[in-house]
Structure 1
Amino acid sequence: MDLGTAFDYAIERYPNKIALVQDHKVLTFQQLNEEVNRLAFSLQKLGIVKRDRVMALLKNRLETVCLFWAVQKLGAIFTPINLRLSPEDTQYCINDAEPKIVVYEKFSQRSVQCAKFNERPILISLDPDEGDLSYQELISRGIGDFSSFSHNDSDDIAVMLYTSGTTGVPKGVPRYHKNEYASTMAHIIQNRYEIFDSTLGAMPLYHTMGIRSLLSMCVLNGKYVLSPDFDVRKALALLAEEKITCLYMYPSMYLELLKDPRFSDFDLSSLQKIGYAGAPMSAALTKKCFEMLKPAHFINHYGSTEIYTFTTCSNLDKKPGCAGRPGIHQKIRLVPTDGSQASSSDTIIRPGEIGEITVQAESIEAFKGYWNRPDATRKAIRNHWYHTGDLGYFDEDGDLYVVGRVDEMVISAGENIAPTEVEEVLLQHPKVWEVVVMGEEDERWGQIVAAFIVPKDSSLTAQELDQFCKQHPKLSNFKRPRKYVFVNEIPKSPSGKTLRRELRKEHLTITEL
């Protein structure tokens, strides 16, 4: 199954069902298809053919959705990038992907204009006074019943996403039609979505989570509700007004949603299924989601751009923070972090022991390698296993817990300390809002545990936190922080991941014990 065909099937099934809502503009599947056809016709006239890259530097908006589907119908490769990337990283991605067309808007205009192209693409702007052509010109020149589409094989590339790594240049991740379709079906099953469900398009469409939300609603003839700029109050209003049934977001977005002082003013009784991915969710926030959103189904989805699903957990009421069991297309294992047996399929990591999480790279959800980066592919995929760089352990039930990154493990006096274990304890202190734990070099111990704290109360002291850790029954004494750094905020990437290098530079006050 290719994505263009999946879209056509949805139109044939229920042409008059609502497909998309944005700023009170409502499009049925048939109406959406007409705009997609006009755009596809004009893109074809501009020379877009199978396997061409069409790059989007756009927010989540109607134009982005139409561009996605038009590209699928032409057999080209939808290549969205984070429009908040620096001009330097934007230029790198454009020259790496070599798109024939770049579509951008006012927000990303500077990055496009500053870029020095190896080969200049055609520039399409949403603003009528910018670029070589405007988006509206393409629509006005198109044909609504255009049907001269390319036939796509399941092994053709449908999408190329760029990973938002915290170090180094972004890496292109080509995703085949079969990857995207299988991942979408897994997403529907894992989240227990049903026909005619609806969701808020909160996750950016340059991210695998955003693509999954869009495709799920297509397959189910569901309603996809967009707001180009994610605003908590507007999101609450849309959830209530559109009676949205499903929500899939970063943990940080749930945190902002639930702490809004007017949260109780909105009727969210239609919201039944919620899920999160992209970053860990604390036990405290998990509990708050249950209490305030009252979901019938709540899932933690653990995966990546490269392989959509690793594991999922849907009993978070009993096991908050748990990553759970492998997805329906998946097999995982833990390998030693010292590399001594990393290539052996017979390696045994006993329950409770920490190892690197690896995922079978032959899954139908898995990519085959990075774009133009054979070196990075060889490092990531070894002996048919994808090395995530994440650390985890299995509990006695066989459920997976993710405890950090291989390069984030704190080793103090020869003891391995998982940052998340210390973070979960500190988050239980009533005066702590957010916390990140890292290792800091120490002449005597090799490393000491350093905790970066965003306090709820300015009266919080390092001595108070140290006493709390000493008395906590779940934290061994050697794991307690020896340094506290009080900060105003925790810097994060667009996908909600902590930017640890930046955090070290931005501390305000340091107290060492």
Structure 2
Amino acid sequence: MDLASLFEFAVTRYPQHTALVDGEYRLSYEELNTHACRLAAGLQSLGITQGDRIVLIMKNRMEMVIFYWAVQKIGAVFTPINFRLSADEVRYCIQDADAKAVVYEPVSEDVVLEATKEARPLLISVLGAQGTELTYEQLLETDVRGFQQPQITDEEICLMLYTSGTTGRPKGVPRSHKNEYGAALAHIIQNQYIRHESTIGVMPLYHTMGMRSLLSTMFLNGKLVMIPDYDAALTLKILADEKISCVYLVPTIIHDLIHHPDFEQYDLSALKKVGYAGAPMTTTLIDKCFEKIKPDVFVNHYGSTEVYTFSICDYLDRKPGSAGKAGFHQQLQVVTPDPEGKSKPSDIVSPGEPGEIIVNTKSIEAFKGYWNKPDATRKAIRDGWYFTGDMGVIDEEGDLYVVGRVDDMIISGGENIHPLEVEDVIAKHPKVFEVAVVGLPHERWGQEVTAFVVAKDNTLTAEELDQFCKSSSDLANFKRPKKYVFISEIPKSPVGKILRRKLIAGEYQTVGEHSNLKV
């Protein structure tokens, strides 16, 4: 079953139901399909064929979704990348993907033209971007009668996402129609979605979370409201005006919405289902979600670009912060961690003991390997299991808790300390807005537990936080931060993951004075 066919099935079920909203534009399923068919014919007329990679460097726009379905119709590979990348990074991705065409808009115009000065694929501009005479608008005028429908199997690649590349060059993750169908099906089941759900397109379509929102919504004849330029107030307004029923967001965005000063002015009573992924959520924020949104369904989804679902937890009221149990298509276990990549699936640790989380690649959602990177593939997939690089603990009830990355683990005085455990305590302080904990080099201890804090109140002191850690938690003394640094913001990736490497490298703006404690 290929994705284009599944979309066309949805079109025939409810052709007049609203499918896509972008500002003042509203497209029904029939209209969206008509646009996609014309664009597919246009792309095919340019010589773009089955298996060709089309790189898109755009915001979350209506045109991006139309391109997605057009690419699926011709059996090509939708390859979106972050529009914030530098020209060098864009050049790398275009060349690595061996792109047949590149689609761009004004925001990415400069980097695309710089990146393609030497090796020039077909360039297609959207919304008046300069640098080529070939435009999206022209392609939409193509006569669909010349379109040749290819035969597409579910094992063919339909999508390639690039990992964030926080520790080096991004890696291409090819995903088949079967992978994407499986991930969409799991997402629908795990978030308890029903027909005609409505959601927001705020998670970027170059990220696995954006893809899940797109596919699950379309397959259920739902409504997807695109938000090209994220803003908390605008998002709250759209949630209320469009009566959005479900969201799937990173904790950073949920944090922004919950803490917006005008939150109470918006009627979010239609919002019944909240899912989050991409980064951990503190128990403080989980409690705030229950209090202020009151969702019927609240799901922590833990997964990756490579596999999508690892585990889900939909009982956060009982176990806030838990990643729960393996997903609908998945099996997982925790093994002895080894940063050198020598652990085996048989090295299973006991309940309560931290280790590396691994997942079974028999899953319909699991990729087969990285694009053009056999060494990375061999390290990541071993004996039929995907080694996530994440540290986790399984409790006595079989529930998983993610405690950080294998390479984020702090070793201080020979003791292993997981940043999330410390962050969860500090985040409960009423004057703390955000916190990130890392290990900084220390002559005696090897690494020194250091907390980087964004304060709500400039009266907050390191001594006050240290006393809070002592009196308000069971945090062992050796896990308490030895240093607090007050900064203006926590550096994050575009999808909200804390970039600890930037904190370690000193890439932040301090606020006031930081304190070394005698503890």
TM class by shorter chain equals over 0.9
Q: Which residue of 2 aligns with 1:407?
A: 407
Aligned to 1:81: 81
- The alpha-carbon deviation at position 487 of structure 1 amounts to 0.6
Deviation, structure 1 residue 118: 6.0
1:450 matched to 2:454? The reply is no
Q: Verify: 1:179 aligned to 2:183, yes or no.
A: no
Any conservation in 1 of the 2:162–2:171 contact (CA below 8 Å)?
yes
Displacement of 1:150 after TM fit? 1.3
Q: For residue 356 of structure 1, what is the amino acid of its counterpart? A: E
Task: Name the Cα RMSD after superposition.
Answer: 1.5
What is the identity, as a one-letter code, of the residue corresponding to 1:70? Answer: A
Structure 2 Cα separation of the partners of residues 129 and 94 of structure 1? 18
Question: What secondary structure sits across from 1:196 in the alignment?
Answer: coil
Structure 2 contact 203–209 (Cα < 8 Å) conserved: yes
**1:24: Cα distance to partner?**
2.4
Aligned equivalent of 2:436: 436
Q: Using the alignment, how far apart are the partners of 2:499 and 2:190 within structure 1?
A: 29
Give matches, 1:210-225, under 5 Å.
Answer: 210-225=210-225
The 5 Å alignment of 1:161-180 reads 161-180=161-180
Q: 1:66, 1:298 → 2: CA distance?
A: 30
Unaligned runs of 5+ in 2: none
What does residue 29 of structure 1 align with? 29
How far apart, CA to CA, are the structure 2 residues paired with 1:376 and 1:120?
Answer: 28
Three-state SS of the structure 2 residue aligned to 1:316 is coil
The Cα of 1:377 is off from its aligned counterpart by 0.7
Note the residue ranges of structure 1 that are not aligned, 5 or more in a row: none
Counterpart for residue 139 of structure 1: 140
Task: Give how far 1:171 is off.
Answer: 0.6
Q: Which residue of 2 aligns with 1:209?
A: 209
My pick for the range that moved more, 15-24 or 275-284, is: 15-24
8 Å contact 1:95–1:118 — kept in the other structure? no
1:257 alignment partner in structure 2: 257
Counterpart in the other structure of 1:381: 381
Q: What residue number does 2:100 align with? A: 100
Q: Residue 388 of structure 1: CA displacement?
A: 0.7
Deviation, structure 1 residue 140? 2.0
Partner residue in 2 for 1:329: 329
Q: Does structure 1 retain, via aligned residues, the 8 Å contact 2:300–2:323?
A: yes
In the other structure, the counterpart of 1:3 is 3
Aligned 8 A contact 1:128 1:136 in 2: no
Which range moved further: 134-143 or 434-443? 134-143
Contact residue 351 and residue 396 of structure 2 kept, 8 A:
yes
Give how far 1:211 is off.
0.8
What do residues 186-208 of structure 1 show as CA deviations (whole Å, max 9, x unaligned)? 00000000011111111111111
AA paired with 1:326?
A: A
Which residue is 1:511 aligned to? 515
Cα distance change of structure 1 residues 473 and 22 upon mapping to structure 2, 3 Å threshold:
closer
Deviation at 1:473, TM superposition (A): 3.4
Where does residue 149 of structure 2 map in the other structure? 149
For 1:393, the aligned partner's letter is V
Kept after mapping to 2: 8 A contact 1:335/1:342: no
Could you tell which deviates more after superposition, 401-410 or 468-477?
468-477
Which secondary structure state, in structure 1, belongs to the residue aligned with residue 401 of structure 2?
strand
TM-fit CA distance, 1:362: 2.2
| Counterpart Cα distance in 2 of 1:447 and 1:236 | 42
Tell me the CA shift for residue 123 of structure 1. 0.7
- The one-letter code sitting in structure 2 at the alignment partner of 1:135 is Y
Q: Which residue of 2 is the match for residue 418 of structure 1? A: 418
Contact 2:339–2:407 (CA under 8 A) maintained in structure 1: no
After superposition, residues 113-124 of structure 1 pair within 5 angstroms as: 113-116=113-116, 119-124=119-124
Tell me if the contact between 1:356 and 1:387 (Cα under 8 Å) persists in the aligned partners.
yes
User: Hey, what's the Cα distance between the residues in 1 that align with 2:161 and 2:143?
Assistant: 27
TM-score (norm 2): 0.96
Contact in 2 for aligned 1:410/1:416 (Cα 8 Å): yes
Identity %: 55
Which amino acid in structure 1 is aligned with residue 453 of structure 2?
Answer: I
Relative to the length of structure 1, the TM-score reads 0.97
- SS at 1:309's partner residue? strand
**CA deviation string 1:446-502 (max 9, x = no partner):** 222111111111111111111222223311111111111111100100011111122
> Which structure 1 residue ranges, 4+ long, deviate > 3 Å from structure 2?
116-119, 338-346
- Give 1:157-306 correspondences, 5 Å limit: 157-306=157-306
> 2 CA distance for matches of 1:267 and 1:244?
10
Amino acid of the residue matched to residue 134 of structure 1?
T
Equivalent residues, number:
512
User: Would the aligned equivalents of 2:105 and 2:129 in 1 still touch at CA under 8 Å?
Assistant: no
* Distance in 2 (alpha carbons) for counterparts of 1:341 and 1:457: 43
Secondary structure at the aligned position of 1:493 is classed as coil
Q: Distance in 2 between matches of 1:142 and 1:292?
A: 51
Distance 1:219 1:324, change over 3 A: same
Q: Sort the Cα spacing of 1:239 and 1:340 in 2 relative to 1 into closer, same or farther, 3 A.
A: closer
CA distance in 2, matches of 1:50, 1:470: 61
